[in-house]
Chain A
């Protein structure tokens, strides 16, 4: 019998509460991390501002300055989701080596959820507010987006967050086959670097790979494209279904990988 939905809600609520309890003890860390992420956003905004400022008529593979504002807002929102809920994934390699998954194997609930979502981050939530603010600014400034299009925002968020969680679970799953390799951290960084630019800037083969095979396009390119009207309705529906399937496949791979878990012997 699969785990009921209210299990996820109850546990997530507790993880949220614990995240706030933790952060109340480390206020300096809270402030630091908010500033750190704001610097990250700023470096991107400045870079694109400089690039588009080189000449007035420039685009990035058809993405105008207005489009890029929305794109960056969406990229930041997805990154903030990762920070808010999936921060524990950075420690997965170390925890795997140290045998720290034992307790999660024993407890009810899928390990991919009880482990990956345990580190709720209030500073991530704060950055989410900043990111949503930037996205809102981009949406408001965009000449082609009106109030009638706002219903697309929840769809964009749903696809992006599902893809982000699925990607994290997939990379963690891969780590079972190469302990000590820090694969999840390495690929996570690479995928972030790639997905933080519109996929249209890459050669066709690379673009297709990251849309269909390893769908990091769902992190920012697809949802931003939905919001600025770059994708047709059929593609939107089909891709959303693909992301759902991808999430299921990632979970299966992780479950497979648990069979290889050796647990450090105490």
Chain B
């Protein structure tokens, strides 16, 4: 069946637009909730990390370099982390497992559409909103503390970092989607999602730069998508990684995304075969 003949494929983009607009409207329905969930999320941990490094470098002495990082560079890293963590897809935007447990997926299965478009709408809405909030955060930081803040070394670095971030965020989204879809088999899924978040944030450099970890650890982690989603884009903006590294990162992310997409399709198809439609 060609794209023009298949109703699901024909409606994908219009439905994606509609669903994204609807999801965005939902986010602004509750004011305090919006501030708490969307603006506040992901702001505190990088600042906590900064305080820890400040205490550490104070004990190390003025101008100390610890495994290739000075304190001013770490401040810039944290500034980058504030933006990157915002934009990177987080599972709180996806409640697929709950929908499966409660049988709310059922009504979509009889419609001439691909259910995946609704999840993609969540991703799109989340990314658009959080990129905007990230940009606002960056602007405020640049105005308040320009001498410490992270300014991209070039427009090219900006483009490279953004591409890595978006592709990496897409990989995170696919991972969360697959884990959520395990709800077709398991009674409980949320603990798996939390575990994956721990792994992604540690392996990606949300607690400390990956390149500051012991060399043997770094050599392993630099082949994983978390590093190219969190740590690497920041280092690209700082000029610590070059264009060749960006290309390598994009290749790793592209291969990861392709593999995850294949897994996603298999898991969804198999899961639907088991689906009991509970709650119909």
Chain A residues engaging chain B, CB cutoff 8 angstroms: 26, 28-29, 32-33, 35-36, 39-40, 43, 46-47, 50-51, 53-55, 57-61, 178, 180-183, 186, 190, 193-194, 197, 200-203, 206
Contact partner of A60 (CB less than 8 A), chosen from B37, B48, B55, B212, is B55
* B62 at the A interface (CB under 8 A): no
Given contacts A60-B56, A197-B52, contact A50 B208 (CB under 8 A): yes
Q: Which residues of B have CB within 8 Å of A43?
A: 198, 201-202, 207
Given contacts A39-B195, A46-B202, A186-B40, contact A51 B59 (CB under 8 A): no
Whether B59 pairs with A181 at a CB distance below 8 angstroms is no
The residues in B between 193 and 210 inclusive whose CB is less than 8 angstroms from any CB of A are 194-195, 198-199, 201-202, 207-208
Contact partner of A29 (CB less than 8 A), chosen from B51, B188, B214, is B188
Q: How far is the CB of B80 from chain A (nearest CB, A)?
A: 19
Whether B44 pairs with A190 at a CB distance below 8 angstroms is yes
Contact partner of A197 (CB less than 8 A), chosen from B48, B192, B212, is B48
Whether A28 pairs with B186 at a CB distance below 8 angstroms is yes
Given contacts A43-B207, A60-B59, A193-B45, contact A54 B67 (CB under 8 A): yes
| Range of interface residues on B (Cβ < 8 Å) | 35 or more
Whether A181 pairs with B33 at a CB distance below 8 angstroms is yes
A33 to B198, CA, bound (A): 13
Inter-chain contact count A-B, CB under 8 Å?
A: 101
Q: List 11 A-B contacts (CB under 8 A).
A: A29-B188, A46-B202, A55-B64, A58-B56, A60-B59, A182-B37, A183-B32, A186-B37, A190-B44, A203-B51, A206-B51
Contact partner of B44 (CB less than 8 A), chosen from A36, A39, A183, A194, is A194
Q: Which residues of B have CB within 8 Å of A47?
A: 202, 207-208
A125 to B59, CA, bound (A): 37
A51 to B57, CA, bound (A): 10
Q: Which residues of B have CB within 8 Å of A178?
A: 32-33
Residue of B nearest to A190 (CB): B44
Q: Which 8 A-B pairs have the closest CB atoms?
A: A181-B32, A201-B55, A29-B188, A32-B191, A61-B55, A54-B66, A180-B30, A36-B191
Whether A197 pairs with B51 at a CB distance below 8 angstroms is yes
